[in-house]
Amino acid sequence: MSDETQHAPDTIAESASEATAPTAPEPESESHATTAQDEVTATASGEASPEAPDESAPAAQPVPAPIAEIASTPAPPAAPQSASKPAPPAETKSDEPDASFGDVLRDYERSHTHRAAENRLEGTVVSLSADSVFLDVGYKMEGILPRSAFDNNAGEVKTGDRFPVSITGRNEENYYTLSRFKVAQPRDWSALERAFADKSAVAGTVTAVVKGGLTVDLGVRAFMPASRSGTREASELEALVGQQIMCRITKLDTADEDVVVDRRVVLEEQSRVELEGRRAALNVGDIVSGTVRTIMPYGAFVTIAAEGGAPQFGGIDGLLHVSDISLARIAKPEDVLSVGQQLRLKILRIDPETRKISLGLKQLQPEPWETAVERFPVGTRVSGAVTRLMDFGAFVEIEPGLEGLVHISEMSWAKKVRHPSDLVKTGDRVDAVILSVKPDEKRIALGLKQTLADPWVEAQKRYPAGSQVEGTVTKIMAFGAFVQITEGVEGLVHISEIVPDRRLNHPSDVLRQGQRVQALVLGLDAEKRQMKLSMKQLIPTSIDEYIAEHKPGDTVSGRVVEVSGAALQVDLGDGIRATGRIGKTGTEKQTAALAAPASGKADLSSLTSMLQARWKGKSPTPEAKPEPLAEGQLRTFKILKLDAEKKSIEVELA
């Protein structure tokens, strides 16, 4: 070996001692010191540490200047010697220090490897912005933390407050990115063992992508599986190379120098802490924005973001129920929503136990019931779509958020509706009239039949009492029969008004449903929608025939039924009754008859002469003396008045 080669350890030792003299570098150069061991080992790999792997240090990391100069200076080649004459042993100077290359390297590691102090610092709050907190960590540039890293979204943090923090890197604005997690910066195996036992996060630099994951420099070479890197794509893995990350040691074998780390668990813990801080900042009634993540039959799950441009609340989902999507009634959420759609929402409820968040979309729209009374007064004609059919009626949407009920009784004038589907179906557009509005109960009563002319008003004009009508028997009840006169107008024929000559046990004895009949209108009430009819009064009777065959002034015979002063009741035959009075002439005759003395002996000669004269027609019949008027007598009467409508006859004693 040449003298230069023999003195190489001295030179390295001197360089190492010179490198320890300067003060500790600033934090931005600390990463250079972490790989000094590997770089020195790589420089003298053939002489001092043949077992050290070539890939233990990242290619992009520079080495300290003194060692770089030594490593870059090539050793002078050894003088060629013949095989027969071995080279003489090198002389040893008496002043050469008694130190090997390994001793020098260990000294250098102690002074340079992770020379910077622990990455755990104490930061002082210097200012706050809308979404960040700036802290002085003792370096030229401040550090930055998101407000969500503090309780109550940093609502109680003020300038001058001090917090323990750890430096995790730099952002694009050159601020130190901080974390409130404790990040250990291991210096040796004992530090790694402590971090492994405490399950604390450690800082490391990703050096390369290898099969199955990444290699990470923690001061020693560590392996991180791809599944625990917190990434999903291979391109994301490659993007981590050269970056400083925080991870947790999940396996540590000092004997085999086997170290396995996990970045994903640290990211998940950070995410949970940030999530709790962000969730605590949400309150019932807040207006937030969000993105539709998933659509289900009962609603949609929305990932919430803060209103006004604040960072997105990653991982905080709320449920937008189908009933809170729109003021209008919708069948399926996908009819109005789509995955990825941006929405502006209101927080309706936050369950303190399950921490579930209920969101509302329709609550940000104007409430239509507040002005419904002014916009839809009673009697207003509206148009809408049938949304639902129930047994008792149909619901009609007259505008988004406003539904009215058309009761089954308000659907038709003409027919008895058994079910709303007899007239309308879901989706039909119909016209209706506002009958009532109750905003407190959120109810509107509608009428379909009111959009048509009321047939009862017309019937009252067309069918006065006494008019004759014709119709169809629509329903038979025990008390009578209903007859439809026109569409929407039905009249009742009472059982006592069906036939005149006998008493019926049931209307079905003489009538059947669907039969056409004639009737007389007895009365009509349009307001109560009632019409009274009579069939028997149109059937010809004896008195009708009698009145038709006689006229006032005719002389008729009849039996006196009742005498009451000057008034009397007379039976004219076939059950025909007439009212009468005793006339002046009749009264005088009755009085004379009562005053004439009774003769005990009849004048036979006069009677014979009278009969012969009447038989021959030569002489008038002598006037007979009237008998006193009494009940049961057959007497002659004169017709004074015939009333066919009232079916009455008035007579007087002839």
pLDDT digits (tens, 9 = 90+) for 358-405: 999 888 888 888 888 888 999 889 999 998 899 999 999 988 888 899
Beta strand residue intervals within 495-605, DSSP E:
516-525, 530-534, 555-564, 567-573, 576-581
Amino acid identity for residue 394 in this structure = A
| pLDDT at site 321 | 92
DSSP letters, 130-161, are SSEEEEE-SSSSPEEEEGGGSGGGGTT--TT-
| pLDDT at site 473 | 93
| pLDDT at site 623 | 53
Which residue reads 């009698």 in tokens?
A: 546
Residues of the chain with pLDDT under 50: 1-97, 105, 108-119, 307-313, 592-602
Cβ neighbors of 600 (< 8 A, separation 6 or more) are none
Distance CA 266, CA 272 (A): 10
State the first-to-last Cα distance of the chain, in angstroms, to the nearest integer: 183
Tokens at residue 201, please?
């996060």
Distance CA 341, CA 57 (A): 47
| pLDDT at site 286 | 86
Which of 518, 240, 364, 404 has its CA nearest to residue 225?
Answer: 240
CA 13, chain centre distance (Å): 79
For residues 444 and 398, is the Cβ–Cβ distance under 8 A?
A: yes
pTM of this structure: 0.41
Structural domains in the chain?
3-80+88-112 (no CATH), 282-364 (2.40.50.140), 368-450 (2.40.50.140), 455-538 (2.40.50.140), 542-595+619-653 (2.40.50.140)
Which of 193, 191, 128, 206 has its CA nearest to residue 161?
Answer: 128
Which residue reads 């396995």 in tokens?
A: 260
Which residue reads 């391109």 in tokens?
A: 235
C-alpha torsion sign, points 198, 201, 204, 206: positive
Tokens at residue 579, please?
């009212």
For residues 287 and 345, is the Cβ–Cβ distance under 8 A?
A: yes
Phi, psi of 321 (to 5 degrees): -70, 155
Cβ neighbors of 598 (< 8 A, separation 6 or more) are none
Amino acid identity for residue 371 in this structure = T
Cβ neighbors of 10 (< 8 A, separation 6 or more) are 96, 97
Which of 421, 292, 288 has its CA nearest to residue 364?
Answer: 288
